[in-house]
């Protein structure tokens, strides 16, 4: 198991000031390098192909512990996440769980077309994250 390998996705794997998600990915990786983000090994920006395919990463000359071996995919926005999740679910038969973080509590994010397994997985992930938040956040009134 170990530390999760996290790919911060963008359309390209190089930093380009005209593509905001590449700048955001680089900033997140720098924050992780400084210890401001814990719990995962981050790399990015990475395009989807070189995040999940070792062959694609090798062809493009991208090394590191995450490229081609990502276990977690972080997308730049809601639209990209929605498209990725539906592609994985409908084309690859993947199970999914949708949770929005950053609010006071995690919010499940499911589609009307999601099956019961996906809805239950979303609830389970939200419950696990809520438990984590309760352990790490001070109690406030």
* Residue 88 lies inside a defined structural domain of this protein: no
Q: How confident is the model at residue 136 (pLDDT cuts 50, 70, 90)?
A: confident
The backbone torsions φ and ψ at residue 60, rounded to the nearest 5 degrees and listed phi first, read -85, 0
Q: Say if residue 106 is in the same domain as residue 44.
A: no
* Chain segment 50-66, per-residue pLDDT in tens: 999 999 999 999 999 99
- C-alpha 18/C-alpha 66 separation (Å) is 24
Domain span including residue 139: 95-141
Cα–Cα dist 133/88, whole Å: 28
Final residue before a domain boundary, out of 29, 45, 76: 76
Residues 9, 69 share a domain:
yes
Kindly report whether the global pTM for this prediction surpasses the value 0.85.
Answer: no
* DSSP at 66: S
Which tokens in the block code for residue 48?
């989807």
4 pLDDT more than 70: yes
């Amino acid at each position: 198991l170990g530390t999760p390998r996290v790919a911060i996705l963008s359309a390209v794997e190089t930093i380009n000031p005209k593509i905001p998600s590449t700048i955001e990915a680089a900033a997140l990786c720098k924050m992780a390098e400084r210890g401001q983000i814990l719990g995962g090994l981050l790399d990015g920006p990475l395009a989807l192909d070189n995040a999940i395919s070792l062959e694609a990463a090798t062809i493009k000359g991208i090394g590191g512990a995450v490229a081609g071996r990502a276990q977690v995919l972080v997308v730049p926005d809601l639209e990209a996440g929605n498209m990725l999740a539906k592609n994985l679910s409908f084309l690859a038969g993947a199970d999914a769980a949708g949770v929005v973080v950053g609010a006071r509590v995690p919010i499940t994010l499911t589609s009307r077309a999601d099956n019961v397994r996906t809805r239950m997985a979303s609830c389970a992930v939200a419950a696990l994250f809520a438990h984590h938040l309760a352990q790490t956040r001070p109690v406030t009134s």
